[in-house]
Structure 1
Amino acid sequence: MSVDLSVIIVNWNTKKLLEDCLSSIFKFTKGISFEVIVVDNGSTDGSRAMVKKKFPQVTLVSNKENLGFTKANNQGIKVAKGKYILLLNSDTYLIENSFPKLVAKARRLKGSTLSRVEPLGALGPLLLGEDQSIQQSVGFFPYLPQIFWWMTFIDDLPGGTILKPYHVDHNSFYRQDRKVDWVTGAAILVPKSVINRVGPLDEKIFMYGEEVEWCYRIKKAGYSICFSPVTKIIHIGRGSQKIPTKSFIGEYQGIIYFYQKYKGRRSLQIARLLLKMGALLRVGVFAILGRKELVNAYVQAFKVV
């Protein structure tokens, strides 16, 4: 039986975060038919037992090992019955009845002025930190100019959104509906019909950058990618990591893979050069500031490029 929305949550040893996420979903969600699918990547912290005991209404997919973010989400997509698919991180939680607002917005955006009469391909909500600060959650494709603006900090300057940066860090950008190139996989709504046409996430990407590649395929197929502050979702995100070295490295690797898949050899070489330049620049800046942990993180990022 079809439902309006399938919420897919990938979990790997985040029992407490997952419990808080699921509790908030069932506390706040009303006025929409939905299902929740948790794909557990071989957790050893009791996550699966917790889900079975406290949330028997949840569909639990259990893996024996950590298959990564993309493969696990694709497992959830395969069993999902919803007309819309929402990929949601386990380190998020609701503070309002977000899902009906998000789905209703997706339906209104279909063929709207914002989507420029293109059918909606993906939609991201406003993400806030636990301190209610706006989180960067959207951006534009990492073409060579975007990488240059990013690596040289130029897109952080006032008015940087004019450059259509890879990461949009300016809070003012998030005050209204926007058409963008990609939205974060921490909370991304995609019509099931779109997935049926363009395919699921690229499983060659273990984690980080998968949403950018997915949105690229979605947009190239003629769909629009949109952001809307119609609802707010709390995303703890990197708050659980003091120095997110893995995410730095993963993001760099994701960009390299993007160029290997879609761009020519010369563009790939230039992208590598820009990323190395940016990593070295950050090593220098953080060395001056005495941030040894960040220096080490960017040294590792430099090596993988």
Structure 2
Amino acid sequence: MKLSVIILNYNVQYFLQLCLQSVEAAISNIDAEIIVIDNNSKDESRLMVETHFPNVRWIQNTENVGFSKANNQAVKVAKGEYLCVLNPDTVIAEDTFTKLLEFAETKNNLGIVGCQLIDGKGQYLPESKRNVPTPKVALKKLLGNSDSYYANHLKKDEIGKVSIFVGAFMLLKQEVYSKVGGFDERYFMYGEDIDLSYKIEKAGFNNYYFGETTIIHFKGESTLKDKIYAKRFFGAMQIFYKSHFKSNVFTNVLVWLGIQVAKLISKRPKALNTVVNNYILISNKLVPKLQIALRESILVSKDINVFKSSTEYILDVNYLFFSDVIRLMRNSEQQKSVSFKILPKKSNFILGSQNSENRGEILHF
């Protein structure tokens, strides 16, 4: 088998449903499997998967064992030569895996391959490619200077070597994953992706950023920017520094400072959602001539004036390809007052996210 797609789920039934639809479309011509491992969700995720995705392998945990341990569990039963660790709050294009696997086959000594991530408003996520967060780099970021934290030597559409990738999407060979011991289970959540990326690079493999394919990462569903998140993140960084850097006063002070800042994060005002005055549905339920003109004008043009301000576009993937949805959202990047909802296939709800700090919105009809 060529590929095993591993998705860790925790109470995100509706986002998981959309994610699985996109993954199934992306593996239609690949010898691949999908494994969903669930950390004791209380919603109806399992019923949804059993009903709509009978070919998906489901692994049920009776408690929340965290990100690292759950993914390691799934890898133990994975049959693929390659693994893709994927978040459930993502949407991938039909050709994402094809492009990445073709690229991977051209490289020797390959580590992780990452790709371009955008959020639910089409905004590029700079954590798509990062440098090693040495204590000095982390301190600068903590003080508001993230230039050296992100891998800015590459433009977002380029291809090249990058050290660190985000756990929302990582493609790598299973033998490489196993050689470095997989995810370090001392990390419950956050930091394990940095650790794995760095372990693989230290083992002599080359990690690559492939900016010629893009996926959506709603992000707010799995990474809420609150006090608990911040404490866990800096706790994870403490593990990372103890594992990979010599302990000294500087690193200890850095982690202490990060935790103190974390206590203030919950007091920050939440990110505001875009004001929506108009709604536009892009679907085959529109008048044929109108729907074709609207779809083509927005997909092809990068002129931000094509997008109407204070407007939410509802994208029907019963009609649009997932690649259409991603390209449309990317083309809106400069128009901040535009937002999106996606209508999954054969469903009675739409979902989306207007910012990456708060949970997404799910509307039933």
Q: TM-score, normalised by structure 2?
A: 0.68
The aligned residue for residue 4 of structure 2 is 6
SS for the counterpart of 2:155 is: helix
SS for the counterpart of 2:133 is: coil
Question: Shift of residue 247 of structure 1?
Answer: 2.9
The aligned residue for residue 32 of structure 1 is 30
Where does 1:157-236 land on structure 2 (aligned, <5 Å)?
160=147, 165-168=148-151, 173-236=155-218
2:110 paired residue among 120, 129, 143: 120
Determine if contact 2:69/2:183 at 8 Å carries over to the other structure: yes
Change in Cα spacing, 1:29 to 1:279, as seen in structure 2 (3 Å) is: same
User: How many residues are treated as equivalent by the alignment?
Assistant: 270
* Counterpart-to-counterpart distance in 1, 2:222 and 2:87: 13
Q: Larger Rg: 1 or 2?
A: 2
Determine if contact 2:129/2:150 at 8 Å carries over to the other structure: yes
SS for the counterpart of 1:154 is: coil
**What percentage of residue pairs aligned between the two structures are identical?**
33
* Counterpart-to-counterpart distance in 1, 2:141 and 2:103: 31
* Counterpart-to-counterpart distance in 2, 1:279 and 1:66: 24
Where does 1:55-66 land on structure 2 (aligned, <5 Å)?
55-66=53-64
Mean CA deviation greater in 138-147 or 232-241: 232-241
* Counterpart-to-counterpart distance in 1, 2:111 and 2:23: 24
Determine if contact 2:68/2:187 at 8 Å carries over to the other structure: yes
* Counterpart-to-counterpart distance in 2, 1:18 and 1:200: 24
RMSD: 2.5
* Counterpart-to-counterpart distance in 1, 2:215 and 2:270: 30
* Counterpart-to-counterpart distance in 2, 1:85 and 1:154: 34
SS for the counterpart of 1:182 is: coil
* Counterpart-to-counterpart distance in 1, 2:45 and 2:159: 36
Determine if contact 2:18/2:91 at 8 Å carries over to the other structure: yes
> Are residue 140 (structure 1) and residue 140 (structure 2) matched?
no
SS for the counterpart of 1:139 is: coil
The aligned residue for residue 251 of structure 2 is 271
Determine if contact 1:7/1:37 at 8 Å carries over to the other structure: yes
Question: Shift of residue 70 of structure 1?
Answer: 0.7
Unaligned runs of 5+ in 1: 112-118, 295-305
SS for the counterpart of 1:175 is: coil
The aligned residue for residue 143 of structure 2 is 152
Determine if contact 1:5/1:84 at 8 Å carries over to the other structure: yes
Change in Cα spacing, 1:243 to 1:278, as seen in structure 2 (3 Å) is: closer
Unaligned runs of 5+ in 2: 272-365
Determine if contact 2:3/2:83 at 8 Å carries over to the other structure: yes
Change in Cα spacing, 1:150 to 1:243, as seen in structure 2 (3 Å) is: closer
2:242 paired residue among 260, 275, 288: 260
